[in-house]
Amino acid sequence: MTSRPYIVLDRDGTIIVEKNYLSSVDDLELLPGAMEGLRLLQDLGCGLIVVTNQSGIARGKLTLETLTGIHAELRKRLAAGGVHIDAFYHCPHVPEDHCACRKPKPLLARQAATDLGFDLRRSFVIGDKPCDIDLAKNCGARPILVRTGYGRVYEEAGIQADFIADDLVQAAHYIGSMIHSVLHPTARERLRRHVAGSIETKQKLLAECEDAMIAAAEAITKSLESGGKLLLCGNGGSAADCQHIAAEFVSVLNQSFLRPGLPAIAMTTDTSILTASANDFGFEGIYARQVQALGRPGDVVIGISTSGNSENVLRALQYGRDHGMGTIGLTGSPGGKMAGVCDICLCAPSKVTQFIQESHIMMGHILCDLAEQSLHFD
């Protein structure tokens, strides 16, 4: 299989002017910028193929022989400008035929990949209609919408593509930047999928955990108001979150509200205490030992565990609960054992660790904001 990237091009509205069932070479007209754009793509080392829906054949508007002649003339005109089209593929059916080859179904693109030996995942699809964008998605390629043809109309209707270009020239410049990128071909898709997933998790969190977050903020505020403090524990990324959240309380969350520092300790930072406790009591006891030494009735222990099953966090929460301290747990779906040892359990509604962690740090910010806005400072 070649490593050469290929461009799967729509025909009407992308390379040539859209005509109502083009049936004569006399009506064949290249779009402005088409020749230059295709030449730029070719200079980038890209192979060029055309995949087009031609239901005019089934409708009796033109014959296969006529279509072949039109493509021969188009190939000739492009060749005169130094552009070589590797292959033309067409679907002759009407939508009602429910065939396997009409875009956005990927049959013709996959056939081209087989015939020419290229990887569709390294390829781009350029067109002016939703069927072209969906074709790209269906075969793993990257979609580009051009505003020529019907593209501008669909852009205004809200169609989504990796890139929207004025014409083939601008599309070629974009592809050039992508080809030379060190990122995986699916980078933009992965980026968007991550952001969308994170947003969805936070929306569910608001719907499912608003009351619990308010209750947690009340517990923290009451503790701090009466002279208590926060003790935070977690492992790995959750340990870092403990430090982050503690810093927001001790320092300041927002420069626009410069209140006194609030007592919060991340029990994840002192390597001598951590290693001594691990040596003497086992790793499972590193946080419970600190809660015993530092905690007092009325304090709040905050344990963070994406799984809800981190034994050292569970032991710290249990010890705090057994000795008159408030306990708040931050975890992810389905919650693990944490709910059983917490007064309040804030469960991010996701099984994806990144989304859970992103929700935890957001909850930390919210709890700090609600507490500092509710406290009475002298």
Is 52 exposed, middle or buried (CB count within 10 Å of its CB: 0-12, 13-18, 19+)? Answer: buried
d(CA 54, CA 11): 10
The pLDDT score that the predictor gives to residue 157 is 95
Q: Sheet of 264-266: strands edge to edge?
A: 264-266, 230-234, 300-304, 326-332, 344-348
Percent of the chain past pLDDT 70, that is, above it, reads 100
What is the structure's pLDDT at 182?
72
Could you read off the pLDDT of 300-349 as tens digits, one per residue?
Answer: 999 999 999 999 999 999 999 999 999 999 999 999 999 999 999 999 99
> What is the reported pLDDT for 188?
77
Task: State residue 125's pLDDT score.
Answer: 98
Global pTM reads 0.66
The residue ranges of every structural domain in the chain are 6-185, 207-374
pLDDT top residue among 105 and 179: 105
The pLDDT, as a whole number, for residue 43 is: 93
Nearest to 367 by CA among 238, 235, 258, 230: 230
Task: Give the residue carrying structure tokens 């859970």.
Answer: 356
Give 207-374's CATH code, choosing from 3.60.20.30, 3.40.50.10490, 3.30.43.10, 3.30.1360.30: 3.40.50.10490
Query: Is 6-185 CATH 3.40.50.1000?
Result: yes
Q: What is the pLDDT of residue 303?
A: 98
Q: Do domains 6-185 and 207-374 have the same CATH topology?
A: yes
- Given a contact cutoff of 8 angstroms between Cβ atoms, the answer to whether 93 and 55 are in contact is yes
174 contact partners, CB below 8 Å, separation of at least 6: 144, 163, 165
Crossing angle of helices 353-374 and 237-250, rounded to 10°: 20
Report the chain's mean pLDDT, rounded to a whole number: 95
Q: Which 3 state secondary structure label does DSSP give 321?
A: helix
Q: Are 304 and 233 in contact (CB under 8 A)?
A: yes
* pLDDT for 77 beyond 80: yes
**pLDDT band at residue 378 using 50, 70 and 90 as cut-offs:** confident
What digits encode the pLDDT tens for the residues 135-190?
A: 999 999 999 999 999 999 999 999 999 999 999 999 999 999 888 777 776 787 78
Q: Is the pLDDT confidence value at 18 over 90?
A: yes
